């Protein structure tokens, strides 16, 4: 297989010599007497000698612990493995540990605001003031603090303040509808909420003060809303009962940050699953696990260091926000943007790359494909500082790789990353000392014991299989919030292979260690790399009186795009009119977000159900992707076997239109 691969980039000798991972290998040799002839050997050691590897990461990065750990790993049991027991530390403390005043901490731009820089001193001062205010109103370690703010400096400031005092952070982007946000935040009973008045997207202002007031009324645990007039600087929180202006909250004399020393597995943040099977799962990660994973990822795999400028386009409702923000741990400047990345035109982000002197430009594969199809030529901008292009979300197809090297830079290091919300990091991704092959992710990441399992549960090479992780990682969730006896946690990852984590992706590992991710193996919807739960769409569609029932799927198409059709039955056997279609679209958009709106709405006679009353999303998806009906579904195991016939016929149209 390796002989057929097209090599697009090979690191130069200087690039390899100056890579952070090269320094780490030198350190291993000088301190441990360990020498590895190539990356694959280093990776193999990192998973074979798991405790020794993570201990080396702890020592190499000189992690500050206020008490010593008593052991590295309690057991290999998943879930249940405990890391670095006895240690006490703080994620935010390490953000302010290795920076240089010679470089800005944050570079920010939005549709409305010109590019500005925030120094490390200013960042530290603002964090101190927010932390002081939170403590003054009684926020204690373990209290939950939520954010309904976009990707702006104040959101980073708020997160660092919350984590510095040991409170638990959680965030949703303000383009989420109120129901979607309440479904998430209400689970964790937040004490305080940071919120903006609105946001700008695509040249339009979206006022969210009414939504904030509604969320406050739906969450009785909320004691205070810290309100930031952002879209409209004159905005007033008149509808919000317990509001204080951001500026008033930080009007204090605090200059020092009171870092709370918390246990390794003390909750840092709660992020959320897509909500496919109901209310989104509240996935909680610990301070220590996120810290040690992000230090490894940002330094060894992303090759960031002081003086670099790291950008990854994201909203605050996507886990890439957490990962992008973690670049601060390396002293790197975090470059952030709020708004539509294609406004006022699709060149906007490439112009920002030139203006901000980005060294890493990260985005979704879908954005890169859109640029390719529009004929964008980023190389018309001055991108001399740009060393790395990152891609995540859906897999980037080979033609996307070719476009990057033809139209951006022929000497750029292209890294694709796959992992996600579950581990707030990556399982597979980039390595600065390895070549880049078209359509391939460079490697399995250090400490990630990733395998492709066939149907018999055997690890396979050069064959498609289920992505499985055989050994624990520090950044795996410490628990799901309000999940008694880890029931949902176990069902999410450990029901298929006892003791092994099944991630839900199809993958292929080559004989030279590169990886292909071939899409989700479950029924989660996907929009430009953003996971969307089917249940969220159903909850909105159910409000449309004319609709009796519905089913939605998302199909991965050639070229990294997606087709997301919604199938509906109409009450009393009626017709699907334009008015009903418009009502469905507007309801979904209002309740959740524009990303939830389907590409096409199609009338059917009946939604297929299993005997246990579950909508047959995954079998329908398989049929539409071309699988034989007898391989995708068993009519005898259905409540209404004839309902599947429509989809068999419809699949012919899908195959002809998108796959022929």
Q: What is the pLDDT of residue 1?
A: 46
d(CA 422, CA 28): 30
* Positive or negative: CA dihedral 362, 229, 268, 88: positive
621-652 pLDDT, tens digit each: 989 999 888 888 867 557 788 999 999 999 99
> 533-659: which CATH number, 3.30.300.30, 3.40.50.970, 3.40.50.10300, 3.40.50.980?
3.30.300.30
Residue predicted with more confidence, 318 or 47 = 47
| Number of Cα atoms under 13 Å in the Cβ half of residue 642 | 2
For residue 22, what pLDDT band results from cuts at 50, 70 and 90? very high
Q: What is the pLDDT of residue 638?
A: 74
d(CA 559, CA 561): 6
* Positive or negative: CA dihedral 429, 434, 436, 440: negative
Q: What is the pLDDT of residue 277?
A: 42
Q: Write down the CATH number for the domain with range 2-95+267-520.
A: 3.40.50.12780
110-131 pLDDT, tens digit each: 999 999 999 999 999 999 999 9
Same topology between domain 2-95+267-520 and domain 112-260: yes
Q: Write down the CATH number for the domain with range 112-260.
A: 3.40.50.980
d(CA 450, CA 428): 8
Tell me if 304 sits within 8 A of 298, measured CB to CB. yes
Chain centre to alpha carbon of residue 123: 24
Mention every residue, 6+ apart, whose C-beta is less than 8 A from residue 408: 378, 379, 383, 386, 389
Residue 357 has pLDDT above 70, yes or no: yes
Can you tell me the mean pLDDT for 417-435?
96
Tell me if 453 sits within 8 A of 465, measured CB to CB. yes
Helix axes 50-60, 287-296, angle to 10 degrees: 80
Joined together, the tokens standing for residue 341 give 């990345």
593-625 pLDDT, tens digit each: 888 899 999 999 999 986 446 788 888 998 999
Sorted by where each begins, the domain ranges of the chain are 2-95+267-520, 112-260, 533-659
Query: Can you give 1-31 as a three-state secondary structure string?
Result: CHHHCCEEECCCHHHHHCCHHHHHHHHHHHH
Q: What is the pLDDT of residue 181?
A: 92
Residue 323 CB neighbour total at 10 angstroms: 27
Chain centre to alpha carbon of residue 496: 24
Joined together, the tokens standing for residue 44 give 């193999």
Q: What is the pLDDT of residue 524?
A: 67
∠ at Cα 298 (341, 460), nearest 5°? 95
Residue 278 has pLDDT above 80, yes or no: no
Helix H or strand E encompassing 411: none
For residue 483, what pLDDT band results from cuts at 50, 70 and 90? very high
Q: What is the pLDDT of residue 204?
A: 97
Tell me if 363 sits within 8 A of 341, measured CB to CB. yes
For residue 509, what pLDDT band results from cuts at 50, 70 and 90? very high
Across the chain, which distance is largest between two alpha carbons, in Å?
Answer: 77
Residue predicted with more confidence, 556 or 17 = 17
Q: What is the pLDDT of residue 354?
A: 99
Mention every residue, 6+ apart, whose C-beta is less than 8 A from residue 283: 270, 271, 272, 273, 421, 422, 477, 480
d(CA 396, CA 561): 10
For residue 394, what pLDDT band results from cuts at 50, 70 and 90? low
Per-range mean pLDDT, top range of 194-203, 311-320, 364-373: 194-203
- DSSP H helical segments within 198-317, as ranges? 209-218, 246-249, 287-296
Tell me the percentage of the chain whose pLDDT exceeds 70. Answer: 96
């Amino acid at each position: 297989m390796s002989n057929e691969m097209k090599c697009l980039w090979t690191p130069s000798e200087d690039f390899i010599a100056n890579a952070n991972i090269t320094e780490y290998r030198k350190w291993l040799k000088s301190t441990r007497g360990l020498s590895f002839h190539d990356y694959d050997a280093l990776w193999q050691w990192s998973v074979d000698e798991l405790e020794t590897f993570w201990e080396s990461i702890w020592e190499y990065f000189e992690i500050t612990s206020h008490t010593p750990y008593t052991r590295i790993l309690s057991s290999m049991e998943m879930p249940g493995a405990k890391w670095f027991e006895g240690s006490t530390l703080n994620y935010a403390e390490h953000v302010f540990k290795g920076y240089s005043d010679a470089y800005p901490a944050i570079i920010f731009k939005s549709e409305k605001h010109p590019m500005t820089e925030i120094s490390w001193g200013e960042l530290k001062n603002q964090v101190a003031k927010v932390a002081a205010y939170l403590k003054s109103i009684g926020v204690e370690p373990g209290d939950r603090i939520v954010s309904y703010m976009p990707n702006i400096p104040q959101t980073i400031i708020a997160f660092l303040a919350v984590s510095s005092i040991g409170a638990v952070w959680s965030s949703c982007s303000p383009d989420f509808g109120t129901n979607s946000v309440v479904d998430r935040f209400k689970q964790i009973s937040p004490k305080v909420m940071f919120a903006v008045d609105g946001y700008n997207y695509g040249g339009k202002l979206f006022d969210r003060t009414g939504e904030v007031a509604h969320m406050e009324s739906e969450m009785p645990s909320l004691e205070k809303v810290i309100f930031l007039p952002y879209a409209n600087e004159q905005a007033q929180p008149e509808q919000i009962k317990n509001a204080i202006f951001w500026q008033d909250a930080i009007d204090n004399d605090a200059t020092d940050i009171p870092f709370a020393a918390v246990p390794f597995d003390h909750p840092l943040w709660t992020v959320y699953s897509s909500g496919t099977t109901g209310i989104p799962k509240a996935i909680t990660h610990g301070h220590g696990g996120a810290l040690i994973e992000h230090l490894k990822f940002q330094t060894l795999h992303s090759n960031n260091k002081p003086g670099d400028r790291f950008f990854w386009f994201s909203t605050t409702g996507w886990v890439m926000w957490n990962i992008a923000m973690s670049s601060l741990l390396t002293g790197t400047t975090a470059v952030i943007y709020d708004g539509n990345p294609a406004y006022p035109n699709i060149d906007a982000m490439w112009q920002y790359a030139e203006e901000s002197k980005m060294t890493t430009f990260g985005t979704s594969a879908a954005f890169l494909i859109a640029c390719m199809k529009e004929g964008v030529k980023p190389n018309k901008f001055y991108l001399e500082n740009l060393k790395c292009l990152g891609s995540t979300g859906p897999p980037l197809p080979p033609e996307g790789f070719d476009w990057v090297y033809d139209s951006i830079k022929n000497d750029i290091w292209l890294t694709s990353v796959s992992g996600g919300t579950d581990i707030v990091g990556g399982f597979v991704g980039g390595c600065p000392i390895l070549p880049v092959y078209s359509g391939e992710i460079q490697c399995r990441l250090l400490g990630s014991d990733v395998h492709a399992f066939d149907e018999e549960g055997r690890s396979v090479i050069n064959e498609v299989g289920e992505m499985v992780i055989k050994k624990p990682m520090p950044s795996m969730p410490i628990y799901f919030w309000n999940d008694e006896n880890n029931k949902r946690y176990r069902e999410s990852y450990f029901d298929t292979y006892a003791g092994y984590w099944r991630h839900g992706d199809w993958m292929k590992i080559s004989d030279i260690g590169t990886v292909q991710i071939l899409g989700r193996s479950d029924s989660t919807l996907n929009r430009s790399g953003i996971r969307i739960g089917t249940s969220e769409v159903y909850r909105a569609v159910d409000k449309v009186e004319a609709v009796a029932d519905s089913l939605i799927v998302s199909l991965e198409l050639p070229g990294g795009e997606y087709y997301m059709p919604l199938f509906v039955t109409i009450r009393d056997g009626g017709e699907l009119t334009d008015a009903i279609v418009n009502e469905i679209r507007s309801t979904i958009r209002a309740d959740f977000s524009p990303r939830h709106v389907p590409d096409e709405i199609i009338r059917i006679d009946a939604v297929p159900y299993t005997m246990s009353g579950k909508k047959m999303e995954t079998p329908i998806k398989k049929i539409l992707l071309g699988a034989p009906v007898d391989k995708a579904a068993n009519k005898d195991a259905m409540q209404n076997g004839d309902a599947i016939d429509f989809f068999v016929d419809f699949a012919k149209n899908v195959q002809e239109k998108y796959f022929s």
